[in-house]
Amino acid sequence: MSKDRTIRGKDPKKQKGGGLKTLLCVILAIAALLVVANVIPPKKVMKENPFLKSRDALPMIAAHRGGGVSNPENTLMAFRAAVNEYGIQICETDLWMTSDGHLVYSHDSSINRMACPEGAETVTIAEHTLAELRAYNMGYNFKDPQTGEYIYRGLSDAEQQAKGLKILEFHELLDEFYDTRKDLLFIVEIKNGSEVGYAAADIIDKTLTERFPDYKGNLVVGTFHPEIEEYLQKQHPTLMRGASTSGAAKFIITQLLRLNIFAGVDFTCLQIPMEYNVKGVRVDLARRTYVERAHRRGIAVQFWTINDPDEMRFLIELGADAIMTDDPKLLKSVLDEYRK
């Protein structure tokens, strides 16, 4: 009877061996998938990315808001100094829409921090016309970095205009350098969401296409609004885009897990801080592996906002494509150390 059960049933030893073989096959399949995910070269987002530095070159200088340490931020005065005195390669700034449909440069939704006395009524960009905003001195609250004095108060309207201290419209910055610096690059962020943000995207594309065609391949657009990112993808596919918050997070996570082919990204520039805190947990983003894996996709890696010389040196050694800074003069001096 016992012998008969063995014949009709399964041999316990063979059953165990078959299970081990199946498990081993699964493990090998997963291992092979991981190897493939990392070995197969990913598709590049574009053939030639102007924001990618050459292999042995130093990082580009991106003047954050034009460089607010030495000059009033987001003014023509600041951008002129950044380009002509500090030799930057990238102008970085933000865009808001006025009440009468003009796109102007400002980080804040109001101009108070830059242009109004303390305690003044809030002057919101969205609630004022361009002409109304042009009545203000955007260098009013700027302090000289050496003396701490308000050096641009008391200027006449004509003097403010001559020095480049009026609020700046989108096309005016492009026009300033178009004839002399065709290689100049731009990073702009659309601050408005929804319909106003859509209109901002339309203005950017139309202005570049009709008035500054040579700059269309030199400008990358960013936004924190997912609906604006989607609008840019669908309605303005020829505009280069920076990584959104979700896009950057997806890229970092897939690279951390070494799942390169699953990143599914189509942005031109990965703009990230050196570190990020997630519910009290510090995540180090300044890692060579992220830079190298981004480069495999043709994506430029740009770190913000770096105003410390030691951090600048670290990112130079890391191979960053660009360093965004409020102090382009300082970054230039640090880069000069490497040139010597």
Q: How does pLDDT run across 243-293, given as a tens digit for each residue?
A: 988 888 888 888 777 666 555 678 999 999 999 887 788 889 999 999 999
Same domain, 307 and 215: yes
Pairing of strands 90-97, 185-190: parallel
Alpha helices in 117-244 (DSSP H): 130-133, 157-163, 170-177, 194-211, 226-235
Q: Are 104 and 206 in contact (CB under 8 A)?
A: no
pLDDT tens-digit readout, 120-170:
999 999 999 999 999 999 999 999 999 999 999 999 999 999 999 999 999
User: Do 30 and 84 belong together in one domain?
Assistant: no
Q: What residue numbers bound the domain in which 235 lies?
A: 60-108+168-339
Question: Is 133 part of any domain?
Answer: no
Same domain, 180 and 239: yes
Return d(Cα 219, Cα 239) in angstroms, integer: 8
Residue 299 to residue 316: CA distance in whole angstroms? 17
Same domain flag for 250 and 313:
yes
Q: Residue 137 corresponds to which amino acid?
A: N
pLDDT at 7 (0 to 100): 46
**Domain count for the chain:** 2
The stretch 77-101 carries a mean pLDDT of 98
Reported as a pLDDT band with limits 50, 70 and 90, residue 9 is low
In a domain, 29, yes or no: yes
As a whole-number percent, the residues of the chain with pLDDT over 90 amount to: 76
Alpha-carbon torsion, ordered 329, 332, 333, 336, to 10 deg: -160
* Residue 213 belongs to a domain: yes
Model pLDDT for residues 224-237, shown as the tens digit of each residue: 999 999 999 999 99
Q: Which positions ≥6 away from 259 have C-beta within 8 Å?
A: 34, 37
Q: What is the pTM of this model?
A: 0.87
Determine, yes or no, domain membership for 123. Answer: no
Regarding whether 297 and 224 lie in a shared domain, the answer is: yes
Find how far residue 111's CA is from the centre of its chain.
Answer: 23
